[in-house]
Amino acid sequence: MQAAGASPSVPFCRASRRPSARLAARTAAAVLALAVAAAGCTGSDGGSGADAPSGAADAPGGAPARFYGQTIDWRDCGDDGARCGTFEVPLDYAEPGGERLEIAVRRIPATGSDPIGSLVVNPGGPGGSGFEYADSAARTVGEAVRERFDIVGFDPRGVDRSSPIACLDRSEMDDFIAVDFTGPGGGSDPADVGETGLRELARLNRGFVEGCREDSGDLMMHMGTDEVARDADVLRSALGDDELTFLGKSYGTYIGAHYADRFPDRVRALVLDGALHPSADIVELGMRQAEGAEVALRSFVEACLEVADCPLGGPGDDVESATERLAGLLERAGREPLRSDLDDGRPANRSWLELGIHSALYSESSWPRLSTALDEAFDGDGTRLLRMAGDLYNRGDTAEYTNYTSALVAVNCSDRQSPRDIGAFEEAAERADKTAPLFGAPLTWGGLTCAYWPEEAVAEPEPLDAPGAPPILVVGTTRDSATPYAWARTMAGELESGVLLTREGDGHTAYGRGSDCVDSAVDTYLLRVEPPEKGTVCP
């Protein structure tokens, strides 16, 4: 839900059934990323009826021994020999004899005859489907990695096929994601929403939480990443792996860091690409993410101005004037929405257009599409930007949403501390507007849902240092639009065995994005658990 541009939890990574961009400029919660794990040493079809691993019942944060060594009943489910199944975990690890959840998992067998084990992958979000991402990951990893690892993806608890959490219907979700509280078209300044705006923001954010309570009241209390990490350890056992090999992107890095901290002796190799800040509260997270988005926007504008048909200007124009032209477009759309051919109930107003712009900043490959969309928008047609904004939150042109946004908000609010006073968000939005004029206030307001989340469901902050774990590879991109590079430095520094690999460039995450230097370093680490030298920088 958004205050004249407040994004609900902005996704840190984008994992959907179709390619989608991932940063929203106007909703009401916060944002996160992606994780992947690979482990052990059997790729056999039975998954592993192995006995519970040593110390399973007593491991900090682990499940009772009876959840370990489950046998997954694999079935054919696609090309490349893909096999799918489910395993069980307790809803509440404090009451393991109570309700259970079924977690959906997809495995694509290694192409070679001598597999090392499983590589567990997660595309981020939170709310992204690891089950769906397995296919993409199998095409992205290096050939040698593909030969030696089964690629395994699972939908975390509350996501898609794994007991999905539900909070709002489509029209309610539209209002939540792109708040328009000033009448037709919206147009108020997200850094100065006024009393009417504050009341509407409070109403919508409370409504989201109440919707979760009505539809998924028990599950919403157990959506934190700490519990997802415990689920991942049960999966590791069911796969027959003694140790976990994991590839997590964006929010997935948070899953990996939690896993390492809980089970440092069960880590084989973890790649944490596009890292989240390990300890920032929900307000700080939104503010810092907005600054990263502004850096990415500047890179796009600079590249755009180098071509003759740039809708923001041309050679000789400066970035500041081009950005002001963009801001003027958004202000006009705030006063009167642009036209749209989608006819799906959403106005092409300021909030939705900002989301469309933000979505394209996740990848340089989306910049040409953004340039075309802006050219059309200056001619009064917001159709393309509106479609891009819908992709960000897994909403088709006229289709229902997936449960992506519900899971995104629920996880963020479960993981991060939040002020309980709306005035704290108002003050932070004003500050963020000064450091990140386009995205600062919207992304800061994006965490407001967490002010109303049940306090007993929110994790207490604690360091994620994973003492005793083998080397953990953290990868950061210098102009990442969703997870600022500073977060990768912070996570690598907090993890006792963290090793930072830097990619100098644009876009969200680094592995599989065209840098041979990054890809080679990650592949070597996954295959031999040999990280690059500390301080390595790749183009």
The one catalytic residue in 20, 129, 250, 351 is: 250
The one catalytic residue in 155, 226, 480, 519 is: 480
Angle between helix 367-378 and helix 282-304 axes, rounded to 10 deg? 80
Do residues 42 and 240 make contact, with C-beta atoms less than 8 angstroms apart?
Answer: yes
User: CA–CA separation, 214 vs 73, rounded Å?
Assistant: 33
Q: Position of tokens 């690979």?
A: 38
Q: Which of 414, 410, 362 is nearest to 389 (CA)?
A: 362
* Burial annotation 283-312 (CB, 10 A radius, 16+ → b, else e): bbbbbbbbbbbbbbbebbbeebbeeeebbb
Do residues 486 and 295 make contact, with C-beta atoms less than 8 angstroms apart?
Answer: no
Residue 142 burial (CB < 10 Å; 0-12/13-18/19+)?
A: middle
Do residues 56 and 265 make contact, with C-beta atoms less than 8 angstroms apart?
Answer: no
Residues 130, 132, 137, 140, CA torsion sign: negative
Active site residue 358: no
The one catalytic residue in 129, 231, 508, 519 is: 508
Return the structure tokens found at 158: 């509350």
* Sequence-ordered alpha helix ranges (H) in 113-193: 130-140, 143-148, 170-177
Residues 215, 220, 222, 228, CA torsion sign: positive
3-state SS, residue 494 = helix
User: CA–CA separation, 480 vs 14, rounded Å?
Assistant: 13
Residues in the chain: 539
Active site residue 480: yes
Number of continuous H segments (helices) and E segments (strands) in the chain = 16, 11
Q: What share of the chain is helix, strand, coil (3-state, %, to 5)?
A: 40, 15, 45
CA dihedral 120, 126, 131, 136 (to 10 degrees): -80
Do residues 125 and 251 make contact, with C-beta atoms less than 8 angstroms apart?
Answer: yes
Categorise residue 240: left if φ over 0, alpha if ψ from -120 to 50, beta otherwise: left
Give the bridge partners for 140, in sequence order.
none
User: CA–CA separation, 401 vs 275, rounded Å?
Assistant: 27
Angle between helix 170-177 and helix 404-415 axes, rounded to 10 deg? 50
Do residues 276 and 11 make contact, with C-beta atoms less than 8 angstroms apart?
Answer: no
Active site residue 277: no
Angle between helix 319-335 and helix 367-378 axes, rounded to 10 deg? 60
Active site residues: 250, 480, 508
